[in-house]
């Protein structure tokens, strides 16, 4: 303890001297460039030694980075504002909602926000730009605020041509994760909820445009329906405030005749005040459930394979990290960040058990990201408090199983598989033949049992006795989930952080001081940057999981919503 106090004292003494010199000698810019691009993940991903050596450039922009930079600029008090460089935005709607919230809070604190659009503008990037005081664009930029749409690819016909089919057993028609493999179009139920989610997205975009640009509801709709625009047309439609090249920005932002200097963050931060450190006794442990939930260890697969690929939240790794937070005496509460469409039902249940067990000792607060559906909701249900964004996709309480059928493929290839069996149902998942009625009833009983357990866990964790009307695979936005009692609050990181601090009895302190990323034990996950181990794990894991696909029960949400024009 004495060592920690002395270290804080020396660090703050150095910061005091540094800040005094920055005040005397450092001339901060009038505005700071902040780039917002890519997927905007919530937190930075720790990189291993080799990855840091290979990727020497700046890391991806995260919401954590945006919060910290805006906070640092506000703390200094000498910078007038920020200029946003918005490009190649691939973020989900909940992440965009969080970024907008941070920018609006910066404006409320007296900072000015200017959006400068020098790349083609789509609906997502314009929705984000609407958080600015002023929206400017370069000449020849296309403003394509064309609205939102959802697109799902259905593979039944393609699989039929290959001689492959599938029997999907689901708890209800709303549990539609298997539909792309068995249909050529949406079912009525799937279409109904996809349209409802899409309507919510559209209304949110309309609200942002209406409030930012001073338009009526009808004018905002007309502006979207008239897109895409050239820059001058966008000014006439009141979607832009001006058109100019980047070198014209200082003159545009001049105040009292003085043209401000606009600096990149890397240069600007050298003249900004450094925040002082406070010693905090208790911390909030950060644990992440990111990607498809699977058994085994967490990993990142380069190719997004349906049900298997992309980022993986391994139950072994997540459980080990939760136990690390439990054993750390300085951790008074756990912030569980869930960014997952669900996945393997058994893996979800193993994580659920740890969340519930640890929450009885240390409060667990869930922060939902873009999606926390099905298995992602399953693991959230026993938490002490659940916070979603308005645009989060959640719910999807239900399970499915897929039984592949490849008899026609075998026939076309001239393959005649012959099985010798002992046991009435030894060939239950044999893809070389169609399932019998008895086998389908067995699969229905299996998912029915797991579904009942799923509902029971949610009912107990959320104190919701009647779930039939909101379960059955139905998907909800975060705003709808709040009304239904599936979450406790709608907000962002700051709300979840505040609740974790309150419930854990943790004193004052900024997220940088209080939040502790709980390391994943090496026995629970290969460290990033160890290529041989990672490749071996990925290849071996994918092979095992592909072979286990038939008969695995999935707590998996159905869709992603994207914009195209």
Domain identity same for 35 and 125: yes
Domain identity same for 353 and 296: yes
Domain identity same for 109 and 258: yes
Asked if residue 365 belongs to a domain, the reply is: yes
Q: Enumerate the β-bridge partners of residue 311.
A: 300
Structural domain harbouring 33? 24-146+227-271
Domain identity same for 364 and 256: no
Asked if residue 312 belongs to a domain, the reply is: yes
Domain identity same for 142 and 287: no
Asked if residue 196 belongs to a domain, the reply is: no
Catalytic residue status for 37: no
At 368-404, the pLDDT tens digits run 999 999 999 999 999 999 999 999 999 999 998 988 8
Strand pairing report for 81-89 and 112-117: parallel
Three-class secondary structure of residue 366 per DSSP: strand
Asked if residue 75 belongs to a domain, the reply is: yes
Instruction: Return mean pLDDT, the chain.
Output: 86
C-alpha span between 141 and 143 (Å, rounded): 6
User: Which is the catalytic residue, given 175, 273, 362, 455?
Assistant: 175
Q: What is the CA radius of gyration of the chain?
A: 26
**Residue that is last in its domain, among 271, 300, 328:** 271
CATH number of 363's domain: 3.90.226.10
Domain identity same for 231 and 301: no
**Residue that is last in its domain, among 271, 302, 329:** 271
Domain identity same for 263 and 289: no
At 501-532, the pLDDT tens digits run 999 999 888 898 899 999 887 654 434 334 44
Q: How confident is the model at residue 19 (pLDDT cuts 50, 70, 90)?
A: low
- HEC string for 421-454: CCCCCCCCCCCCCCCCHHHHHHHHHHHHHHHHHH
Asked if residue 96 belongs to a domain, the reply is: yes
Best CA proximity match to 165, nearest among 177, 183, 152: 183
Domain identity same for 258 and 294: no
Domain identity same for 323 and 250: no
Asked if residue 19 belongs to a domain, the reply is: no
Alpha carbons within 13 A on the beta-carbon side of 369? 24
Across 153-233, the runs of DSSP E, i.e. the strands, are 165-170
The domain total for the chain is 2
Q: Which residues contact 472 (CB under 8 A, 6 or more apart)?
A: 171, 172, 174, 175, 397, 398
pTM metric for this prediction: 0.88
Asked if residue 61 belongs to a domain, the reply is: yes
What's the DSSP call for residue 246? G
Q: Enumerate the β-bridge partners of residue 273.
A: none
**Residue that is last in its domain, among 271, 301, 333:** 271
The predicted pLDDT at position 127 comes to 97
Q: How confident is the model at residue 138 (pLDDT cuts 50, 70, 90)?
A: very high
Catalytic residue status for 187: no
Domain identity same for 383 and 494: yes
Domain identity same for 366 and 453: yes
User: Which is the catalytic residue, given 317, 374, 380, 391?
Assistant: 374
Best CA proximity match to 267, nearest among 23, 29, 56: 29
Least confident of 45-59, 124-138, 443-457: 45-59
Domain identity same for 233 and 312: no
The predicted pLDDT at position 493 comes to 97
Greatest mean pLDDT among 333-342, 405-414, 432-441 = 333-342
Asked if residue 202 belongs to a domain, the reply is: no
The predicted pLDDT at position 565 comes to 35
């Amino acid at each position: 303890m004495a060592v920690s106090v002395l270290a804080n004292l020396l660090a703050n003494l150095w910061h005091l001297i540094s800040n005094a010199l920055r005040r005397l000698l450092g001339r901060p810019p009038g505005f700071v460039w902040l780039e917002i691009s890519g997927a905007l993940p919530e937190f930075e991903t720790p990189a291993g030694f080799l990855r840091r050596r290979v990727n020497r450039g700046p890391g991806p922009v995260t919401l954590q980075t945006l919060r910290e930079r805006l906070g640092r600029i506000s703390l200094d008090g000498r910078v007038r504002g920020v200029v946003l460089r918005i490009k190649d935005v691939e973020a989900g709607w909940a992440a965009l909602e969080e970024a907008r919230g941070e920018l609006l809070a910066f404006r409320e604190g007296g900072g000015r926000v200017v959006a400068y659009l020098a790349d083609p503008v789509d609906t997502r990037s314009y929705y984000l730009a609407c958080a600015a005081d002023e929206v400017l664009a370069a000449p020849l930029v296309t403003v394509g605020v064309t609205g939102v749409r959802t697109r799902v690819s259905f593979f039944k016909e393609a699989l039929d041509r290959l001689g492959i089919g599938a029997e999907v057993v689901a708890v209800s028609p709303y549990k539609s994760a298997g539909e792309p493999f068995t249909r050529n179009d949406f079912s009525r139920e799937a279409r109904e909820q996809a349209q409802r989610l899409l309507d919510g997205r559209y209304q949110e975009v309309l609200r942002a445009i209406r409030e930012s640009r001073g338009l009526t509801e009808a004018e905002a709709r007309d502006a979207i329906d008239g897109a895409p625009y050239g820059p001058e047309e966008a000014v006439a439609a009141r979607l832009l405030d001006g058109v100019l090249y980047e070198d014209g920005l200082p003159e545009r932002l001049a105040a009292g005749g003085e043209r401000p200097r606009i600096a990149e963050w890397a240069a600007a931060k050298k003249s900004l005040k450094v925040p002082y450190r406070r010693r905090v006794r208790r911390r909030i442990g950060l644990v992440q459930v990111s990607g498809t939930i699977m058994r085994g260890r967490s990993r990142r697969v380069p190719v997004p394979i349906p049900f298997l690929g992309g980022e993986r939240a391994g139950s072994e790794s997540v459980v080990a990290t939760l136990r690390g937070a439990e054993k750390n005496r300085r951790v008074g509460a756990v912030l569980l960040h869930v960014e997952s469409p669900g996945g393997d039902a058994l893996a979800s249940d193993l994580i659920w058990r740890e969340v519930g067990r640890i929450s009885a000792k240390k409060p667990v607060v869930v922060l939902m990201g873009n999606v926390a559906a099905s298995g992602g909701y399953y693991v959230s249900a026993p938490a002490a408090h659940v916070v979603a964004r308005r645009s989060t996709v959640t719910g999807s309480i239900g399970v499915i199983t897929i039984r592949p059928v490849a008899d026609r493929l075998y026939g076309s290839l001239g393959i005649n598989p012959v099985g010798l069996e002992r046991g009435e149902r030894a060939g239950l998942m044999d893809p070389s033949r169609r399932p019998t009625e008895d086998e389908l009833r067995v699969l229905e009983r299996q998912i029915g049992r797991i579904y009942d357990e799923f509902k029971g866990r949610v009912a107990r964790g959320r104190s919701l006795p009647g779930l039939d009307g909101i379960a059955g695979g139905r998907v909800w936005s975060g705003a709808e989930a709040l009304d239904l009692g599936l979450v406790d609050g709608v907000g962002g990181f700051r709300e979840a952080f505040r609740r974790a601090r309150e419930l854990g009895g943790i004193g004052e302190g900024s997220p940088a001081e209080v939040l502790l990323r709980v390391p994943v034990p090496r026995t629970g996950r290969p460290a990033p940057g160890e290529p041989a181990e990672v490749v071996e794990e990925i290849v071996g894991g994918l092979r095992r999981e592909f072979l286990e696909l038939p008969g695995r029960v999935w707590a998996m949400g159905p869709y992603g919503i994207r914009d195209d024009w």
